[in-house]
Amino acid sequence: MTISSIEAIALIDANNFYASCEQSINPHLRNRPVVILSNNDACIIARSPEARALKIKMGTPYFKEKERLSKLDVAVLSSNYSLYADMSKRLMNLLKNYCEEMEIYSIDEAFVSIYRPNDKNLYPWARKLRTLTYQNLGITITIGIGENKVRAKVANKLAKNIDYSAGIFDLARTKDENSYFKGISVDKIWGIGKQTSKWLKSKGIKNAQELRDMKENEIIKKLGVVGKRLQLELKGYKCLPIKKSNKSKREIQVSRSFGTPITKLEDLTQVLAIYAIQASAKMRSQSLKTSAISVFVRTSKYSNQKYQRVAHKKLINATDNTNAILKIVVALSKEIYNPEYKLSKAGVLMQDLINCHYLQKSIINYKSQEDIKKSENLMRTIDLLNKKYNNNAITWAITKKPKEWTINRNLLSHTSTTDIRKIPTIVI
Ligand SMILES: [Mg+2]
């Protein structure tokens, strides 16, 4: 725990990320109000600043606003996650060249550490970074700078809320910190959840300044070391390190809600098989194998009938082989199926993941080296072909029956940054 004035932490956050990605690849959408819909085109989940200015609310069901949106000439799009994931990768690749360390915090947010120059002024660095991301990706970012992660988060909030900040705020260089801290309600502070903020308010602690200055032992009594760290960070001490994100994942999940609910077992089995194929390929791309598989299903949150089930299988030998995984998933799907319910979401989880390089061989159910090699070669060949000729060039017969349960994405933009066939053509 140190007070460090040389090293600063910045929280870099892309503004209106989903809408900005869409505006970036489609010039017709620039300066136009744009909204993005959730899976199955259900609710509004992102808005461009132009759409915010029209007072279009987050979370509104699309069908309720459809008419008004069309009258206001708002561009409405289905969420295009492959575009956002690709733009995120590009954004992070750019940012990492301009900092010491980076922790990717979410699809559009990263904590970075950066040394202060002799004059301690990081505004020129931040301005350059904003210009570069806009020039290269068409995305505007907000940069909050502080001595640590909590203060960088607070600074980011200030950079967004204060007009004259032009998207950059350095909390370590303000003269009147208290006037800013007073304006930040406790429930807006990173790490303070609903329950905690209720408790704090009952104690008369309403804003960041009061939280920073409240009695330490009271915080520790209620929130333990987590609360103490948070308070120390608000004071300017550094307690939370930048986590470099090359650790392997602990689980891989593929799940979706369906456009039309599923009622037949063969449809459920097919959808889970498709997710299992995707999850297996994902594992292999990260050199991971699974030692436990779960499948789950549930009815819609809005339905009167409530049903949810999970089925689970532990494996003796960890595997990344799609054939082996499919057999298990198909068997598990029978355990969770119930013909009396309309099933609206299902998913597959690969758990207890093990890095292939540190794999222990089991003596039970032991396969010959030759069999293992054969199965690895087969999977590698399938992955290579799918990479070369677009996903699903080679897949399993179980996925091939045409289906109604696919996600509705009727307003999807092109995936022009990830699919060579979708690159726009210019006719001269
Ligand atoms: Mg954002």
Q: What is the pLDDT of residues 128-143, one digit of tens each?
A: 999 999 999 999 999 9
Alpha carbons 271 and 198: distance in angstroms, whole number: 42
pLDDT value, residue 354: 86
In a domain, 352, yes or no: yes
- Residue-wise pLDDT for 354-370, tens only, equals 887 766 666 566 667 78
Measured CA angle at 337 (ends 333, 338), to 5 deg: 175
- Let me know if residue 292 belongs to a domain: yes
Distance 140 CA to ligand 1 centre (A): 10
Q: Summarize pLDDT for 247-288 with one digit per residue, the tens.
A: 556 789 999 888 889 999 999 999 999 999 999 999 998 889
Q: Which residues sit opposite 292 in a β-bridge?
A: 314, 351
* CA angle, 106 then 180 then 19, to 5°: 35
CA of 191 to the centre of ligand 1 (A): 17
Rounded to the nearest angstrom, the distance between the alpha carbon of 108 and the centre of ligand 1 is 6
Other C-beta atoms closer than 10 Å to the C-beta of 120 total 12
Measure 305 CA to ligand 1 centroid, in angstroms. Answer: 36
Expressed in angstroms and rounded, the spacing between residue 11 Cα and the centre of ligand 1 is 11
212 shares its domain with 265: no
Residue 225 lies inside a defined structural domain of this protein = yes
Give the domain CATH number at 291. 3.30.1490.100
| Average pLDDT of the residues in 15-39 | 93
Predicted confidence band of residue 98 (pLDDT cuts 50, 70, 90): very high
pLDDT reported for residue 322? 95
CA of 139 to the centre of ligand 1 (A): 11
Q: How far apart are CA 110 and CA 418, in angstroms?
A: 22
Distance 245 CA to ligand 1 centre (A): 19
Predicted local distance difference test score (pLDDT) of residue 397: 86
pLDDT in tens, 297-345: 999 888 888 999 999 999 988 899 999 999 999 999 999 999 999 999 9
pLDDT in tens, 370-384: 888 888 899 999 998
Clarify whether residues 223 and 299 are in a common domain.
no
In-domain check, residue 404 = no
Distance in Å, CA 5 to ligand 1 centroid: 27
Q: Which residues pair with 313 in a beta bridge?
A: 293
Average pLDDT rounded to a whole number, residues 233-249: 81
Q: Which pLDDT tens digit goes with each residue over 169-217?
A: 999 999 899 999 999 999 999 989 889 999 999 999 999 999 999 999 9
Pair 364, 395 in one domain? yes
In the reported structure, the alpha carbon of residue 413 is separated from the centroid of ligand 1 by a whole-number distance in angstroms of: 20
CA of 107 to the centre of ligand 1 (A): 8
Q: Which residue has the tokens 């950066």?
A: 114
Nearest to 273 by CA among 328, 339, 217, 337: 328
pLDDT band at residue 4 under the 50/70/90 scheme: very low
pLDDT in tens, 50-83: 999 999 999 999 999 999 999 999 999 999 988 9
Q: What domain count does the chain have?
A: 2
pLDDT (average), residues 219-229: 91
Give me the pLDDT at residue 234, please.
95
Residues 208 and 273 in one domain: no
Residues 304, 258 share a domain: yes
CA 13 to ligand 1 center in whole angstroms: 5
Whole-number Å distance, alpha carbon 34 to ligand 1 midpoint, is 15
Question: What percent of the chain has pLDDT above 90?
Answer: 67
Same domain, 240 and 286: no
261 in the same domain as 179: no
Query: Distance, CA 82 to ligand 1 centroid (Å)?
Result: 17
Question: Is 328 a domain residue?
Answer: yes
Q: How far apart are CA 137 and CA 357, in angstroms?
A: 36
Q: Is the pLDDT reported for residue 395 higher than 90?
A: no
pLDDT score at 303 = 83
- Ligand 1 center–CA 14 separation, angstroms: 4
Distance of CA 64 from the midpoint of ligand 1 (Å) = 26
pLDDT at 3: 43
CA of 17 from ligand 1 middle (Å) equals 5
Instruction: Evaluate whether 144 touches 15 at the Cβ level (below 8 Å).
Output: no
In a domain, 420, yes or no: no
Side chain identity, residue 188: K
pLDDT at 47: 95
Distance from the CA of 28 to the center of ligand 1, in angstroms? 22
To the nearest whole number, what is the mean pLDDT of the chain?
89
Same-domain status, 352 and 233: no
289 is in which domain, residue-wise?
A: 252-399
Within 13 Å and on the Cβ side, how many CA atoms surround 60? 18
Report the pLDDT value the prediction gives residue 21, as an integer from 0 to 100. 95
How close is the Cα of 20 to the center of ligand 1, in Å? 10
408 is a domain residue:
no
Which residues are in the CB-under-5-Å shell of ion ligand 1?
Answer: 13, 17, 108
Q: Is the pLDDT of residue 1 over 50?
A: no
Domain boundary among 247, 273, 300: 247
Does residue 425 lie in a domain region? Answer: no
CA distances 296 to 24, 85, 254, 329, Å, are: 37, 25, 11, 10
Distance between Cα 104 and ligand 1 center (Å): 13
25 CA distance to ligand 1 centroid (A)? 18
Residues 93 and 117 in one domain: yes
**C-alpha of residue 18 to centroid of ligand 1, in Å:** 9
